A and B are shown apart, each in its own frame.
Chain A
Amino acid sequence: MEDLASRIVKKALALGCQDAVADVVTNRSYQIRFARNEPVISNRWRETTASAFLVHSRRVLASDIKDLTRTDEAVERLVKIAKASQENPEYAGIARGPFSYARMAPDKKVLALEDGSDHVDAAIHGALEMGATECAGSFWKYEEEHALVTSNGVRGRDHRASLYLSIRALASPEASGHGIAAGTRLSQFDPARAGRKAGRVASLAKSPKLGTPGKYAVVLDPLIFGALTDQVANGLGAWTVQAGLSPFGKKIGKRVASAAVTIVDDGSSDSIARKRFDAEGVPTRRNVLIQKGVLRTYLHNTTTAKRFKARTTGNAGLVSPQPHAVFLKPGDWSKDEIFEEVTDGLWLTNTWYTRYQAYVTGDLSTIPRDGIFRIRKGEVVESWKGIRVTDNLIRLMKNVVALSDAPEQMMWWGEVSVPNFVPYALVKDVNITTSAE
């Protein structure tokens, strides 16, 4: 793999490129999808791809090369296209290596896992035990090997493996709950717990009534809070800010959340997205993005860092900086204390379709799904349906009153794009709307 990456970089330099990056990735991931309490399909991948980033006279081009038997021809074609394109005056180069990287090795028990059926069964049984009648979801064994070489002296290898399971349980057509299990070590991975969580919420959610619009104190389960912190982290990419796709423009040093909120991006810590380096080969590291509610930095690659007079945060993607894994600093409240704090409010467990009226203002709505509960003094008094959170991302983060002391690793289809380690959150004055008949 490393030889192939070197060959691509050398070929690009020989053809006149000033900068080149090649990341040869072997994907051996495996998945079981399940629905109606049984598997629906098993998916396996055997792929090796070279992601290439070439710069010729400040003309920047990215590519994925799939036919690895003809990489020279591919690079020739790509350089020809790059030459014919236009300069990017904002391009500021790639990181200069070499770098030394933290030692990280995947769990041998994860690598050796050939069949995930037991994990699927454990999750389904966990949900059924708690009163669910129908379960669906996915089990994943992710495994990737990377060999990255750049024209600036970077050489890096990384072997990443993790387990992930997402389960949605239904106790009736309108009563559902969701659970997530994730870990880089087999010993961390608890699909039965995820199933029990999904089943317990589904059982509680039976016989929902239509919700009532208004402003509520809301307890956010880690899955829905993770969906919001994921919005925050993605909105902190410098490229995203430049494109007008973020409410965090010109807010460095300003308050964007309550003092309870400290958000860190860290690709080097243990998560199912843990990696040794970013797409330029810069070692991943801990970056405090929001400290006690105040915005400290955007996520940068070398080019955006120069533009913003900052340093790369080691978050380069091929084009734009991306979060790796998001960590919320936990609070000092127990989960029970958070619920007990709510004299009259809501408990939301999941959401989807977070959409903006204007990205730059942060005005959004998102639709809670799965269990939606009216709670009084910490007790569930009703199950609801048919509501929407219609609010503003920064206002929601500013209204965070309390965080629990035990964050959980959340990542979920579409809404939580990277691992977010998030606790339970209590947010005041959340605006709830409903559909009119």
Chain B
Amino acid sequence: MADADLVDLAVDVARSKGATYAEARYERQAQESFILKNGVLDALYSGDDQGIGVRVLVDGALGFAATNLLTKADVRATVDAAVKGAKTSRRKTPIAFAQEDSFVTNWSVPEVKRLADVPVEAKVAEIQAVDREVMGLGIKVPARYFQLASNRIEKYFANSEGSRIRSYSPRLRFFYFLTVGHDGDVEQTYRNYGWSGGWEGIRAWDLRNRVLEEARSMKRSLKEGRKSPEGKMDLIVGPQVSGIAAHESCGHPTEADRVLGREASQAGKSFLTPESLGTRVGSDLVNVVDDPTVEHAIAFYLYDDEGVKARRRYLYKNGRVNEFLQNRETAAVLGTRSNGAARAVNYNVEAIVRMANTFVEPQDHRLEELLEGVKFGVYMKSFMEWNIDDKRFNAKYAGREAYLVEDGQIKHPVRKTVIELTTPAFWSAVDAVGKDLEFEAGFCGKSDPGQALDASLGGPSMRLRNVYLR
């Protein structure tokens, strides 16, 4: 790979210009996506994105520069820009990186059917078949929006400590957004699925059944849905709700750069502090994990973008804050080691602390068993509107598909059930965790310039006792 020579050159030049640490990352992203809007192929995109990003530590200050101009002269100029940025920094507190092992290795995600071998017309036909079936349901669906995207990511990472890591990561994503109408009222929904691997992912998702089932449930909600009960009651949440709570109310507040204030101006801070490790945030049953090594999950990786080996992290364990997500910079500040959470969305941005595949660890209850214990409450299978404050303390999830539960039985749909709870109130109310683990994909936004990064959000159904709903 000629571009690998440029990466190695960048590291060498940076060292020669006074960098105490230097790293360079080449990325090539072969991106293809299309939108099928109301049955029409609206926006086909095909891009071949590539370039090199260089990060240096000079006199305790960080500089980063990036270019897509892949000549020796341009790479040298890019290193100069990174070094200049660090040297002109007025930082007084020196930045250090936690000591980590170096690796010389290759890793890749296998594809049963290579994404590159599937022509765009076959991909479009696959999604059009789903669209036709939706239209064949006899349901009023005035707006349908489907997006299929693939990205084949090649990377070569080198640093001044001897790491040389090549990787290949093919990814497939599917997003849909549906509007269903009935008697002048509407419901809207969106779902996001992700896959690391080849075209076989399209079968693993079972898109046809998922989309049709969703459209039917929207119609039923419009036709039969009643006002959701208000007050304190039991709540069963489905995997989609567990997944967003894992991501927003556990993953984000345990990002060490937030805890330390590095993202304070944009993505915000955290209700946790460096002293929060070991403090209780939920019941003993709550275990939330972030794991880059989950096979086929959209954010699968074996080494992060600082060359640190990936591993499973227990963020909340038995209801207590167990571990923060770390990169080398935050780990040095907190006197620990990186746990391999540094990622960048592309070559042209620095790697920062990011979640990968974040999920509530499943336990042993079937959904029926969770329901059996509920005398009166709500089963919120999925949500639509949601948000959370920048400290990740006050969250809201408004139900999309939800049902009344009486004496352990699922009754009629209820509409717009609202959970508006603090993070500890949510996790402390969990008294049973199911085994039906499911993942959805998301774009997790953070940093400036914004890095909307692949992430998985997952969990099983969970039962929460005596929470306020409206």
Contacts and interface: CB of A to CB of B under 8 A. Distances in A.
Interface of A: 30-33, 35-36, 38-49, 59-68, 74, 77-78, 81-82, 84-90, 115, 117, 120-121, 134, 136-138, 166-168, 170, 173, 178, 242-245, 319-320, 352-361, 363-367, 369, 386, 388, 413-414, 433-437
Nearest to B86: A42
B120 interface: yes
B145 A244 contact: yes
Interface size of B as a range: 35 or more
Given A42-B88, A88-B42, A358-B187, A363 B48 contact: no
Contact of A367 (B78, B92, B388): B388
Contacts of B70: 67
9 closest A-B pairs by CB: A244-B143, A42-B85, A353-B387, A436-B468, A136-B264, A136-B265, A357-B385, A168-B265, A244-B179
Contacts of B266: 138, 166, 413-414
Interface in B418-433: 420-422, 425
Given A359-B188, A363-B385, A47 B42 contact: no
A366 B64 contact: no
B448 A369 contact: no
A75 to B, nearest CB: 11
Contacts of A136: 261-265
19 contacts: A35-B262, A36-B93, A40-B62, A41-B85, A44-B82, A46-B69, A48-B69, A61-B46, A63-B46, A63-B48, A81-B46, A117-B90, A242-B37, A243-B38, A355-B386, A359-B188, A365-B396, A367-B387, A437-B425
A74 B420 CA distance: 50
B121 A360 contact: no
Interface in B143-197: 143, 145, 177, 179, 186-188
B121 A49 contact: no
B450 A369 contact: no
Given A360-B188, A388-B394, A413-B266, A38 B90 contact: yes
A249 to B, nearest CB: 9
B63 interface: yes
Contacts of B69: 46-48, 68
Contacts of B37: 242-243
A434 B448 contact: no
A366 B416 CA distance: 16
A433 B398 CA distance: 13
B46 to A, nearest CB: 5
A44 B385 CA distance: 37
Contacts of B63: 41-42, 44
B137 interface: no
A61 B348 CA distance: 24
A64 B49 contact: yes
A42 B62 contact: yes
A254 to B, nearest CB: 16
B390 interface: yes
B384 interface: yes
Contacts of A35: 260-265
Interface in B17-44: 32, 34-35, 37-38, 40-44
Binding site of A, secondary structure by majority: helix, strand, loop or mixed?
strand
Interface in B344-359: 348-350
Interface in B328-387: 348-350, 384-387
A47 B394 contact: no
Contact of B68 (A49, A82, A354): A49
Interface in B117-160: 119-121, 124, 142-143, 145
Contact of B350 (A38, A43, A46, A433): A43
B268 interface: yes
A402 B44 CA distance: 44
Given A40-B62, A136-B264, A367-B394, A67 B48 contact: yes
Contact of B92 (A38, A67, A173): A38
A357 B179 CA distance: 12
Given A244-B179, A435-B420, A85 B386 contact: no
A168 B269 CA distance: 11
B51 interface: yes
Contacts of B268: 352, 369
B295 interface: no
Nearest to A320: B43
A292 B265 CA distance: 35
B85 A44 contact: yes
A64 B63 CA distance: 27
Contact of B385 (A61, A115, A355): A355
Given A62-B44, A136-B265, A367 B389 contact: yes
Contacts of B299: none
A369 B448 CA distance: 18
B286 interface: no
A172 to B, nearest CB: 12
B44 A245 contact: no
A84 B263 CA distance: 44
A43 B347 CA distance: 12
Nearest to A45: B66
Contacts of B78: 46
Contact of A46 (B74, B142, B467): B74
B65 interface: yes
Given A62-B43, A244-B142, A43 B64 contact: yes
Contacts of A47: 51, 66-69, 348
Contacts of A353: 387-389
A11 to B, nearest CB: 16
Given A85-B121, A366-B387, A435-B425, A42 B89 contact: yes
A137 to B, nearest CB: 4
B420 A436 contact: yes
B120 A85 contact: yes
B110 interface: no
Contacts of A67: 48, 50, 68, 70
Nearest to A115: B88
B141 to A, nearest CB: 9
A363 to B, nearest CB: 7
Nearest to A319: B43
